[in-house]
Amino acid sequence: MLDPKIIKERPEIIKDMLKARSVDFDLDGLVESDQRRRRYIIETDELRKKKNLMAREISQKKKAKEDATSILAEMKDVSVELTRLEGRQEENEKIHASLSLAIPNLVDESVPVGPDKRSNKEIKRWGCLPCFDFKIKDHIDISENLDLVDLERAAKVAGARFYYLKNDLVRLNQSLIHYALDFLSKKGYLLIQPPYMINRKAMQGAVIADDFEEAIYKIEQEDLYMIGTSEHAMAAMHSDEIIEGRDLPLRYAGVSPCFRKEAGAHGRDQKGIFRVHQFDKIEQFAFTRPEDSWQEHEMMLGIAEEFYQQLEIPHRVMLLSTGDMGKVSAKTYDIEAWMAGQNAYREIVSCSNCLDYQSRRLKIRFRDKTNEGTQYLHTLNSTLIATSRILVSIMENFQTKDGHIRIPQALQRYMGDRKEI
């Protein structure tokens, strides 16, 4: 949701954003419904005023034991008229709300404009790519040989894009989670394990309408949706609240499984555990003052970079272009890790500043003094680690000639000081 003031006073800013994102959106419809909204508010307010005055008169007459028959009849007419007007107002509110919820976020000036990922800008690279003096395998072969994953039975039981982790890969997965939580905890983040299902109102706060169909699983017969990331549950955590200014920023480390339909991904990464319907993720989420969010954004990215440096995973940082960015984000960095088996950098982290877009949807405000007006705060989110993809990266980058997997130094103490799988 965008600031209605911008819609009213500077619609050209929104027009530019829609063009940059090449999004087809009924901006005129939004502007008109917004104008109608104000008009209806003025009209109904006036009628209510009239009604209130009459109610007072009736009350006084009754107290004085006077006859109120004629004014009673008149008031009934006013009530009927008001109900009619409110009906029309409500109809317009629905149109206005659905358009308000569908419009994407503004885009920061620093974001490159372009139609798709080819316009993304590489910001930096870290680490030397691993060299091998033998023919390397991809994570599917490695995990099969070491009996670490069972994809066939997962397909039988749940379908494509599911997996059974087995043996030491279960331990490695847990070690990554444990390590990531320790890491963020040391950075001052509050650990959060959220509900894995949330209701529509909460989900709507963090997710734009299109993504509901594309990505989110719904529980039948219930007002519940499986979270696609703990971001969804953490954004909604403080909905309808007023936060004390002195408590900001709030920094949360969310740990949860993530559930995604991957509806638009047929054919891509069809095999293995790279693109799956369910994976574990540790997420950074922050609520900040508006003036602090850009600094926070860089900090979150830096934290994720440091994490992968400690894990010795070669990676590069990409600044996403308008065409590749999510609709709720004003600016997004991705980190892409080297995957030796694919001979390519692949996305492992997405780090976004959503400005006040989510907080307006969810009514999350703050203030410093209890008598001050409230302000919408800013929300930011960044992956720290989506474990399945890092399992792929570790298996492929750390594979040995004899078909085993070296364990990165930083993880060894979480694996009983073992050095290899």
Stretch that binds RNA, among 117-125, 272-280, 328-336, 372-380 (CB under 7 A): 372-380
Selecting among 388, 389, 393, 396, the annotated active-site residue is 389
Question: Is 347 tagged catalytic?
Answer: yes
Q: In angstroms, how far apart are the furthest CA atoms of the chain?
A: 104
Stretch that binds RNA, among 18-26, 252-260, 297-305, 371-379 (CB under 7 A): 371-379
Residue (of 287, 296, 297, 191) closest to 239 by Cα position: 287
Stretch that binds RNA, among 138-146, 150-158, 304-312, 365-373 (CB under 7 A): 365-373
Q: Does 415 bind RNA (CB under 7 A)?
A: no
From residue 174, alpha-carbon distances to 165, 237, 404, 415, 417 in Å are 11, 26, 19, 9, 15
In the complex, least distance from residue 180 CB atom to RNA, rounded to whole angstroms: 25
User: What count of other Cβ atoms lies within 10 Å of the Cβ of residue 156?
Assistant: 10
Q: Does 56 bind RNA (CB under 7 A)?
A: yes
In the complex, least distance from residue 79 CB atom to RNA, rounded to whole angstroms: 4
Which residue(s) pair with 399 in the sheet? 405
Q: Which residue has the tokens 């070491």?
A: 146
- Tokens representing 220 are 């039948």
In the complex, least distance from residue 277 CB atom to RNA, rounded to whole angstroms: 23
Which residue(s) pair with 336 in the sheet? 316, 347
Q: Of residues 9, 26, 46, 182, which one binds RNA by CB under 7 A? A: 46
Selecting among 74, 86, 214, 347, the annotated active-site residue is 347
Give the up-direction half-sphere exposure of residue 111: CA atoms within 13 A in the CB hemisphere: 28
CA-CA distance, 115 to 215, in Å (whole number)? 22
User: Between β-strands 278-288 and 378-386, what pairing exists: parallel, antiparallel or unpaired?
Assistant: antiparallel
Selecting among 21, 275, 361, 365, the annotated active-site residue is 275
Give the up-direction half-sphere exposure of residue 103: CA atoms within 13 A in the CB hemisphere: 31
Q: Does 152 bind RNA (CB under 7 A)?
A: no
| Closer by beta carbon to RNA, 52 or else 110 | 52
In the complex, least distance from residue 261 CB atom to RNA, rounded to whole angstroms: 26
Which residues does 226 contact at the CB level (< 8 Å), separation at least 6? 196, 197, 216, 217, 218, 219, 259
| Closer by beta carbon to RNA, 210 or else 368 | 368
Give the up-direction half-sphere exposure of residue 102: CA atoms within 13 A in the CB hemisphere: 14
- Burial class from Cβ neighbours inside 10 Å (0-12, 13-18, 19+) for residue 401 reads exposed
φ, ψ for residue 252 (rounded to 5)?
-115, 140
Q: Does 38 bind RNA (CB under 7 A)?
A: yes
- Tokens representing 318 are 């990409």
Q: Of residues 19, 22, 52, 419, which one binds RNA by CB under 7 A? A: 52
In the complex, least distance from residue 81 CB atom to RNA, rounded to whole angstroms: 11
Question: Is 39 tagged catalytic?
Answer: no
Q: Does 155 bind RNA (CB under 7 A)?
A: no
From residue 359, alpha-carbon distances to 56, 178, 416 in Å are 40, 30, 43
Q: Does 59 bind RNA (CB under 7 A)?
A: yes
Helix (H, G, I), strand (E, B) or coil at 285: strand
Q: Find out whether 353 and 297 touch, Cβ atoms under 8 Å.
A: yes
Q: Does 257 bind RNA (CB under 7 A)?
A: no
Q: Of residues 266, 369, 402, 416, which one binds RNA by CB under 7 A? A: 369
Q: Of residues 10, 15, 42, 302, which one binds RNA by CB under 7 A? A: 42
Residue (of 250, 259, 288) closest to 198 by Cα position: 259
Size of site (CB under 7 A) for RNA: 29
Q: Does 76 bind RNA (CB under 7 A)?
A: yes
User: What count of other Cβ atoms lies within 10 Å of the Cβ of residue 82?
Assistant: 16
Q: Does 193 bind RNA (CB under 7 A)?
A: no
Question: Is 350 tagged catalytic?
Answer: yes
Q: Of residues 7, 20, 30, 75, which one binds RNA by CB under 7 A? A: 75
Q: Does 62 bind RNA (CB under 7 A)?
A: yes
Q: Of residues 188, 264, 373, 416, which one binds RNA by CB under 7 A? A: 373
Stretch that binds RNA, among 16-24, 53-61, 185-193, 224-232 (CB under 7 A): 53-61
Question: Is 260 tagged catalytic?
Answer: yes
| Residues at the interface with RNA (CB under 7 A) | 4, 38, 41-42, 44-46, 48-49, 51-56, 58-59, 62, 72, 75-76, 79, 242, 369-374
- What residues are annotated to the active site? 260, 275, 347, 350, 389
